[in-house]
Structures are given as C-alpha cells and as structure tokens.
Amino acid sequence: MTRPVDVFAERRLRRWSETESEDILVQFGPVIRQDDAAFCRYTLTGADGELTRDIWGVDDVQAIQLAMAMAGADLDRLADGGRYRIIGDSNGEGGHGFPTLPITPYKSAL
C-alpha cells in the first residue's frame, strides 16, 4: 500500500484467532491545527475495509496521544477474541503496542 503524503507514522499488524488471520495497517496523520485546538487522523485498514477517525486535543501533542489511545481501543474492540502481533517484530511478543483508554461502564449516581 502506498503511503499518503500526510501520514507521518504507520504500523503493520497481524490479527489472528482460531479460525482466521488478517493483516491490519494503522496510519496516523495528518495533524491539523484549527483555532486553539488540533486533531490527528488515524486510519485502520484491513480485509473488512477502512475505519478513519479524527481525534481532537488541546494541541498537536495531545491530539497525537489521544489518537494513539483511541486506535488501541478500536483495535481491542475489533479483535473479537483474536490476538495481534506487530509485523516485523523480532522478539515475537503479542499485542498491538498502542496505549488504550480505560473504559469503564457508566454507573448512575441515583
């Protein structure tokens, strides 16, 4: 896959389960400033298509940090019992390697 000019980082992953295997490309960029904020776009591309999100932060750095965490959360959600390995990772450890946001169920104050 060719790398769009506005992509500044990417990671190639392989997701596998007992019944299937899929390669996933994770790309970050561009970061765009708008007024007093910025957003970072990320795209997950696999056999099932493409998922693109724009994640906003107070500045470029926070937008990148939050985009990485949301990409990790999306990968966790899409895993569906599967596991990830970074393609080309020489030590063979599993996982997608992105931070994830702790998501807890909503608890009513009532």
Q: Does the predicted model carry a pTM greater than 0.75?
A: yes
**The pLDDT value given to residue 110:** 56
3-24 pLDDT, tens digit each: 556 999 999 999 988 888 899 9
Q: Is residue 100 part of a domain?
A: no
Query: How buried is 58 (Cβ within 10 angstroms: 0-12 exposed, 13-18 middle, 19+ buried)?
Result: exposed
How many domains are contained in the chain? 1
**The pLDDT value given to residue 1:** 46
C-beta of residue 51 within 8 angstroms of C-beta of residue 43: yes
Q: Is residue 30 part of a domain?
A: yes
Q: Which domain holds residue 43?
A: 9-85
C-beta of residue 84 within 8 angstroms of C-beta of residue 71: no
Q: Is residue 99 part of a domain?
A: no
Q: Is residue 98 part of a domain?
A: no
Band of pLDDT at residue 77, cut at 50, 70 and 90:
confident
3-class state of residue 10 by DSSP? strand
16-50 pLDDT, tens digit each: 888 888 999 999 999 999 999 999 999 999 988 99
Please give the Cα distance from 45 to 35 (Å, whole number): 30
Please give the Cα distance from 104 to 10 (Å, whole number): 28
Q: Is residue 3 part of a domain?
A: no
